[in-house]
């Protein structure tokens, strides 16, 4: 259909555009987490849009490397946290029967399900949390709101050579395990880490070391009191 639209003009082109827009509107209405759908040319210029508000330029097509990749295969952009909402964008090539990339399809999702996972502190005590991150060059970036910085306004990306980046650095390197580290508050924590292989992200579940070992400290106190009594 995209190929036919590109080859048409005038009234015929408008009719075909209307048909595609109608179909995309139905898709948008049937998917609760889908916020908008856009069709862009290979230079990231908007061609067709369905949704409440047109974006200036989608984040997934902003980076030249990501734009180049989206012409070849589906690409998932890192989550973007704006105004209390987490957005996730996906771009994929629209090809001709001969395999040439004609345009790019971009889907923008409300990633509230992802936010629900990282924001659920059940069983993690007073200090535990789940952190999603990614390595970008010499920095490790936190991708979702943090328990002690919900707006991601105070915490800066961590240097890959520093102690704060250690758990996420292991996770983004496709490793799994448990380690002791300093978190983004410079507090000693016990952290379990594992990769999210589909995207190269890392997932860390951590708890302050003091809270994690509090039961051991309590046991030690009880034993000392018992020994004193004996």
Span 88-144, pLDDT tens digits = 999 999 998 888 898 999 999 999 888 888 999 999 999 999 999 999 999 999 999
Percent of the chain at pLDDT > 70 equals 89
Helix residue ranges per DSSP H, the chain: 2-7, 10-30, 64-70, 112-118, 166-172, 209-212, 214-229
What per-residue confidence (pLDDT) applies to 47? 86
Given a cut of 70, whether residue 6 has pLDDT beyond it is no
Cα(128)–Cα(119) distance, integer angstroms = 10
User: Please, what sign has the CA dihedral across residues 212, 196, 166, 88?
Assistant: negative
Task: State the average pLDDT for the chain.
Answer: 88
pTM, two decimal places: 0.80
Residue predicted with more confidence, 81 or 91: 91
């Amino acid at each position: 259909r995209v190929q036919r639209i590109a080859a048409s003009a005038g009234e015929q082109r408008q009719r075909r555009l209307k048909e595609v827009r109608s179909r995309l509107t139905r898709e948008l209405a049937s998917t609760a987490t889908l916020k908008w759908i856009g069709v862009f040319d290979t230079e990231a210029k908007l061609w067709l849009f369905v949704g409440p508000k047109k974006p200036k330029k989608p984040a997934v097509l902003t980076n030249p490397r990501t734009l180049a990749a989206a012409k070849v295969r589906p690409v998932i952009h890192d989550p973007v946290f704006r105004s209390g909402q987490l957005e996730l964008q996906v771009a994929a090539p629209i090809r001709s029967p001969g395999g040439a990339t004609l345009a790019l399809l971009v889907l923008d999702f409300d990633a509230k399900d992802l936010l629900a996972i990282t924001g659920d502190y059940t069983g993690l005590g007073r200090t535990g949390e789940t952190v999603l991150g990614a390595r970008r060059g010499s920095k490790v970036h936190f991708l979702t709101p943090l328990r002690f910085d919900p707006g991601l306004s105070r915490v800066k990306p961590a240097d890959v050579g520093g102690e704060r980046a250690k758990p996420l650095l292991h996770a983004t390197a496709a490793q799994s395990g448990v380690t002791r580290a300093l978190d983004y508050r410079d507090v000693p924590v016990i952290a379990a880490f594992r990769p999210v292989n589909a995207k190269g992200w890392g997932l860390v579940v951590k708890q302050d070391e003091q809270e994690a070992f509090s039961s051991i400290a309590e046991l030690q106190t009880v034993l000392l009191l018992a020994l004193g009594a004996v």
